[in-house]
């Protein structure tokens, strides 16, 4: 099972993308755990995840994301703005899975 964490300012806006990603994973028969949290909680959840996706509007906080994820050897990526805006769960799931291949 792959554990994916999406982070943004409060975790609320990524929650919609999480739902879309879960549907995409179910459709493909992929077992995943996908959650959304506030970026302020990243360090609290980093030990339990395989990959982190970050809302594109949080790019200003990349330095802290990089420090936390690198310290725990967890890959991260900012979600593409168009993927995020359209809540494209298929594309977001692909991005997460590609990071851990």
| pLDDT value of position 81 | 96
Q: Is 88 a catalytic residue?
A: no
Mean pLDDT, range 70-89, rounded to an integer: 97
Asked whether residue 73 carries a pLDDT value surpassing 90, the answer given is: yes
Which residue in 62, 59, 57, 47 sits closest to 84, CA to CA? Answer: 57
Q: Are 31 and 98 in contact (CB under 8 A)?
A: no
Domain count, the chain: 1
| pLDDT value of position 100 | 92
Enclosing domain of residue 72: 2-99
Query: Which tokens hold the place of 83?
Result: 């993927």
For residue 57, the domain's CATH number is 3.40.50.2300
Q: Which residue among the candidates 4, 5, 8, 95 is catalytic per the annotation? A: 8
User: Does pTM surpass 0.85?
Assistant: yes
Mean pLDDT, range 42-63, rounded to an integer: 95
CA-CA-CA-CA dihedral for 38, 43, 69, 21, to nearest 10: -40
């Amino acid at each position: 099972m792959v554990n994916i964490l999406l982070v943004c300012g409060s975790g609320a806006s990524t929650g919609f993308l999480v739902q879309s990603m879960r549907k995409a994973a179910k459709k493909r028969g992929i077992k995943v755990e996908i959650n959304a949290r506030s970026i302020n909680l990243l360090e609290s959840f980093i030990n339990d995840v395989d990959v982190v996706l970050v809302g594109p509007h949080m790019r200003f906080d990349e330095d802290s994301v990089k420090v936390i994820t690198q310290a725990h050897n967890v890959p991260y990526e900012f979600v593409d703005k168009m993927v995020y805006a359209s809540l494209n769960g298929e594309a977001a799931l692909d991005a997460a899975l590609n990071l851990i291949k």
